[in-house]
Homo-oligomer: A and B are copies of this chain.
Amino acid sequence: MADGLKNRGRSRNDMNERRVAVEDLTGTNLEHISNCSFDPEMASRNVENMIGVTQVPLGFAGPLRVNGEHAHGEFLVPMATTEGALVASVSRGCSIITSAGGADAIVVKNGMTRAPVFRATGIRQGAEAIRWVEGHLDEIRSVAESTTSHGRLLDIQPFQSGRSLYLRFVYDTGDAMGMNMITIATEAASMLIAERTGLEIVSVSGNVCADKKPAAINFINGRGRMVHSDITVPKGMVEKRLHTTVDAIVETGIRKNLTGGAISLSYGFNAHAANMIAAIYIATGQDPAQVVEGSMCMTSAENVEGDLYMSVRLPAIEVGTVGGGTRLPSQAEALRMMDCIGTGKASKLAEIVAATVLAGELSTLGAQTAGHLGRAHNDLGR
């Protein structure tokens, strides 16, 4: 039994032996967990101690028309979730957006970041090191890029406090989310910098990256892809499909998303962007911990000549269409549903994510403004 637990093999037999050992030790039956349809070796770069799979229910929202710079056409968006009503709500939003001609979507910025922290002897050495870095970007780039065939170093942004020095490396990682790639590249560059400036490397990640933490630096300056999406929904469509008015939705947008977000000092001025992002990320093999950054969405709602204008600003959509979880069978299938697998597809996926978030925001703002309260009304028998 202990042998089973300590088995480090990757084959289906190894997986089964481990699972049986877990079942024995915990007195459980892991029948549904065992239901893995693919060769566990395929997941050897995605998990250790594998005992099977979690089956997350998968639905789709759409068709959703997107008029992006990379995503053109109507898409069925795969969403893996356990939250009832989410897919239905997003689908309602997709249907309205598609009826209104489709959502615009633009990737306005693209740069994945990793920020090692160094130890300096003080502010003077730190300032000198920063000047050295600024004067040797080409040399640093050459070392960093020697470790990767896809990553390109775009910029290095310095931050210093006393003896702590942070260099925020910004990369174009192509169609990979790219954290591993740029961590290796940044390690190599960091060693060069340390050698040449006398700084000491403390950690390859100094949290100014900032990965999987809600951080102002990403909200403001972006991380991964910064994406916008917007739509104008005609007044009549708002009233007929959402059972409320343009002005009511706008009021909810202001009092809830903006003012409520401000009162709680939130880094997310939206209704529930994280829901859509989490569901798509899980379905398509993205890193679900990066829902954290993804949640920092700003949603706007305005009355423009009587119609409803809505937009989302997503400063940190960190997605890939190669590598990571996208290689797994069910996740790859989900990506294929949107023709979003392989090279040249990451910006397309980012635009679809943004438009789907917009659909979810539209639907939920509509519901919170109008429909939901009815239920409780009934319960109270009025």
Contact = CB atoms under 8 A, between A and B. Distances in A.
A181 interface: no
B264 A325 contact: no
Given A266-B210, A267-B214, A58 B33 contact: yes
Q: When A and B form their complex, which 10 residue pairs have the shortest distance between CB atoms, in order from nearest?
A: A82-B325, A207-B260, A162-B311, A214-B214, A213-B268, A187-B376, A162-B300, A216-B265, A216-B216, A35-B37
A205 interface: yes
Contacts of A28: 333, 336-337
Given A32-B38, A49-B87, A268-B215, A274 B292 contact: yes
Identify whether the interface residues of A are mostly helix, strand, loop, or mixed.
mixed
Interface residues of A, number: 168
Contacts of A331: 54, 82
Given A55-B55, A119-B255, A265-B265, 19 more contacts: A29-B333, A33-B58, A33-B333, A40-B57, A46-B57, A49-B59, A49-B91, A54-B56, A82-B331, A106-B124, A108-B160, A161-B228, A164-B300, A184-B375, A207-B266, A213-B261, A214-B267, A278-B291, A292-B292
A11 B382 CA distance: 35
Contact of A59 (B50, B251, B329): B50
Contact of A292 (B48, B87, B214): B214
A237 B175 CA distance: 41
8 contacts: A29-B333, A35-B35, A43-B57, A50-B59, A108-B160, A210-B266, A214-B266, A258-B258
